[in-house]
Amino acid sequence: MAMMPKRVKYRKQQKGRRKGMSLAASTINFGEFALKALESAWVTDRQIEAARVAIQRKTGRIGNLWIRIFPDKPITQRPAETRMGKGKGAPSGWVANVRKGRILFELEGVPLNMAREAFRLSSHKLPIQTKFIVRGA
């Protein structure tokens, strides 16, 4: 099941820019361990879901997992082999606009080595460099 907003005010959005650091969600608020973004990128709903599945497979569904990003930006795409012009394409998917320094996932109730390995596996599903961090360290 793909993550996407229930409703949006506007069907299409402009690209925008991803300069600078994340203003929100740059500290651990819920769990003991976290995965932090070291780069800025668009993370798709499928990438978020693949990372979540990787974490839950490794932890065996023990402990709590928080997903701190949500894909709320629509991405449009023109049909293949279409001539230039004729307006913007139809929405084709959803992405989360992730800036450098943002906490992506948080985890608690699992041992340190298991959390580290789960986040290592999940980081391979994401298009950005990430860092494993521990609360209070």
Domains of the chain plus CATH, in order, are: 33-79+88-134 (3.90.1170.10)
Q: Which residues of 45-57 are buried (b: 16+ CB within 10 A; e: fewer)?
A: bebbbebbebbbe
The DSSP secondary-structure symbol of 21 reads: B
Dihedral pair phi/psi, residue 113, rounded to 5°: -65, -35
Query: pLDDT tens digit string along 43-57?
Result: 999 999 999 999 999
**Predicted confidence band of residue 61 (pLDDT cuts 50, 70, 90):** confident
**Predicted confidence band of residue 1 (pLDDT cuts 50, 70, 90):** low
Q: What is the percentage of the chain residues whose pLDDT exceeds 70?
A: 99
- Burial category of 60 from C-beta neighbours within 10 Å (exposed 0-12, middle 13-18, buried 19 and up): exposed
Query: What own/partner pairs with CB < 8 Å and gap ≥ 24 does 90-93 have?
Result: 91/11, 91/12, 93/44, 93/45, 93/46
Distances (CA, A) of 109 to 37, 41, 74, 113, 115: 22, 29, 34, 12, 9
